[in-house]
Amino acid sequence: MRVSLASVIILLVGTCCYALSIKEDLSPSREDLLRDEIQEALETGVVNPFLKHVLQTLKLETLLETSSYESDEEPEPYDPIYCALCNVGMDAVIHAVHNGTDPDVITDLLVELCVDLGIFNYNFCEHFLRDIEDQLFWVMENRANLTGEDFCGMLLGILGCETDNPDRIWEVALPDENKPPVVDPVIPPDGTPVMKVLHLSDTHYDPHYLPGSNAECGERLYCCRAESGPVETPEAAAGKWGDYRSCDAPQWLLQAMYDHIKIAHQDLDFIIWTGDLIPHNIWNTTKEGNLQIIKDCVQMLADNFPGVPVFPAIGNHESHPVASFPQPYIDNEFDISWLYDEITALWSTWLPPDVAHSVAYGAYYSTLIKPGLRVISMNSNYCYGLNWWLVYDDIDPAEELDWIAKELHAAEASGEMVYLIAHIPPGNSDCTRTWSHEFNKIVFRYESTVAGLFYGHNHLDQIMLFYDPVETTRPYHVAYVAQSQTPYTNLNPGYKVYTVDGDYAGSSYRILDHENWILDLDEVNQSDNPRFFLLYTAQDAYNMTDLTPKSWDDLLTQMKEPNSTVFDTFYINHVKAARPRLEKGCGDFCKSSLLCRLAVSDSSDHSHCDNL
């Protein structure tokens, strides 16, 4: 999921200011007025009824949508004043915290606004905001010289907010050696050995999913449980095998998927599993509950694929509260070792003992898949803008990028090829700009060593092109972003299988083709017969002779043309042929925004979107 209630807090404060400004320019005198009004609210815990009335007329839900680009018509662009007002509002909150305002008073105010503005119900607002209160206020109290612009620029990068604090711009030093000459990989002839790789992502297993429960409950983010309230119409009842609405994957859906894979793909060499195992009920998770779900998911995969190596990566939902990933040196009550120690033990189901230290330290590791091919699993939560611990310190958290550069350098020296796997794609707007830029710099330096990049998080099926920062028209890598196992939201469950240049001397280990399989929820909930089927293979669907970065770039050029039939095909595959998404369609703004997503691997540089 790409929206956190941490951002809701900032939006609440910012929109308070917004109501006062009535969309006029934020002059210095108005800034003073806004600070005074917010300070009074923080001190008294009371918001002027007029402000509430004005706030209720704003369409806050448009700021909280997870897939806002999927629209037939171009929406109003986010008004830059949101960021300016957020800065003012957060300055006032930080000032209040440093001047002894009781954090409970601030949280009470935010809960009241969250409910009164109709953003979420009381159950959600109260429980989630109480869960994150201690961590957020600790960050505000302990980060020296913290400003509202820092807070909003980090957490609301997804809305275009930025901070000009020079401390937020940093670099990772690369080994002082020249980049070797780039030799394009040769497409192997037919008959060359290949490997088969299964990519699973965004499992979001819900052990409490209840068929027939209310799928249209009052919780905006999650339903389909016993506590979701009465079912008022037959259409509101959750399907047996999952639901297109805000509901995750029941155990029997995942088991049916694994049963199918075992029959249809008996030649798997290994599995990539790119995170997010916890369901989307983010207001009532617990550490214990999250750990149990992670254990159950690991056990289910191990039981169904004995003897098949699995290489996991950690998702943003694995922590409690969601998206909370403190730096490894935070050793107080917010220490993340409760999670990292457990996944160290669980991942040892597949990983060798020598990676235990790095997993326990930062939830990342590097290990050989087989001689000549290495996997580096990254913890991309250290680039996740909605991880409020980055407000405290975002300089290469857990020294991860420095470690990745050293691992790639050693692999280059050893003649190894490397797969990079993580949950959050680096080009996403919710990956912080500096981290994303430095990561791209590393990938570019070691482009001849990196054989593949694999991500999840978006729940949709797509690619992400990496372009040469100097020779800007040259695509030098393509990342594959896998579709979700969960149907959340308005999607069919699915998985991806890659055909890879195989295990032989001199193999490039590049992706030669990929096939994508889905289960149609409409069909299975009517037939009660889980029939997974092949939706498409990339070469056939897009008439591609190979899957090189250049070929994907050529496809992007074709798709941007008006009335492009290949774009229509791509969009069907992108949304996994899910009826609700297809009924909604993809208009001009949707199309240009989607193509932009495919062309951006560095969230600080959207220049490749200019012609899309």
- Relative to beta strand 194-200, strand 450-455 is unpaired
Residues of the chain with CATH 3.60.21.10: 196-203+248-609
Predicted local confidence at residue 67, as pLDDT: 43
Count the neighbouring beta carbons within 10 Å of the beta carbon of residue 60: 16
Name the residue with tokens 């290469």. 396
CA pair distance 334, 339, nearest whole angstrom: 11
Predicted local confidence at residue 431, as pLDDT: 94
CA pair distance 401, 54, nearest whole angstrom: 45
Which DSSP string do the residues of 403-432 spell out, in sequence order? Answer: HHHHHHHHHHHHT-EEEEE-SS-TTSTTB-
Positive or negative: CA dihedral 163, 164, 168, 172: positive
Of 89 and 364, more confident: 364
Neighbour-count burial of 143, counting CB atoms closer than 10 A to its CB (0-12 exposed, 13-18 middle, 19+ buried): middle
CB 480, CB 274: distance < 8 Å: no
Count the neighbouring beta carbons within 10 Å of the beta carbon of residue 326: 23
User: Minimum mean pLDDT among 115-124, 512-521, 525-534: which range?
Assistant: 115-124
286-338 pLDDT per residue, tens = 999 999 999 999 999 999 999 999 999 999 999 999 999 999 999 999 999 99
Model confidence at 34, in pLDDT bands (50, 70, 90)? Answer: low
Q: Which two tokens stand for residue 58?
A: 């704003």
Model confidence at 3, in pLDDT bands (50, 70, 90)? Answer: very low
CA pair distance 175, 486, nearest whole angstrom: 41
Residues annotated in a binding site for Zn(2+): 202, 204, 276, 316, 423, 457, 459
In this prediction, residues 500-519 reach a mean pLDDT of 95
Q: Has domain 196-203+248-609 been given CATH number 1.20.990.10?
A: no
CA dist 222 → 284, 323, 381, 426, 457 (Å): 11, 17, 22, 27, 17
Predicted local confidence at residue 66, as pLDDT: 42
* Cβ burial 1-18 (10 Å sphere, 16+ → b, else e): bbbbbbbbbbbbbbbbbb
Of 575 and 67, more confident: 575
For helices 251-264 and 287-304, angle between their N-to-C axes, nearest 10 degrees: 20
Residues annotated in a binding site: 202, 204, 276, 316, 423, 457, 459
CB 204, CB 277: distance < 8 Å: yes
CA nearest 117: which of 241, 38, 259, 8? 8
CA pair distance 1, 158, nearest whole angstrom: 13
Residue 256 has pLDDT above 70, yes or no: yes
3-state secondary structure of 358: helix
Q: Which two tokens stand for residue 251?
A: 């155990």
DSSP state of 205: B
Positive or negative: CA dihedral 358, 360, 362, 365: positive
Predicted local confidence at residue 604, as pLDDT: 93
CB 19, CB 55: distance < 8 Å: yes
Q: What mean pLDDT value characterizes the chain?
A: 88
Residue 570 has pLDDT above 80, yes or no: yes
CA pair distance 347, 13, nearest whole angstrom: 41
Residue 261 has pLDDT above 60, yes or no: yes
469-492 pLDDT per residue, tens = 999 999 999 999 999 999 999 999
Model confidence at 6, in pLDDT bands (50, 70, 90)? Answer: very low
**What percent of the chain is predicted at pLDDT more than 90?**
70
Cβ partners under 8 Å of residue 514, min gap 6: 480, 496, 497, 498, 499, 537, 538, 547
Name the residue with tokens 């206020």. 137
DSSP state of 214: B
Q: What phi-psi label fits residue 198: left (phi over 0), alpha (psi between -120 and 50 degrees) or beta?
A: beta
Residue 93 has pLDDT above 90, yes or no: no
Angle at 429 between CA 566 and CA 461, to 5 degrees: 35
CB 535, CB 577: distance < 8 Å: yes
H/E stretch holding 191: none
409-434 pLDDT per residue, tens = 999 999 999 999 999 999 999 999 99
Model confidence at 50, in pLDDT bands (50, 70, 90)? Answer: very low
Residue 535 has pLDDT above 90, yes or no: yes
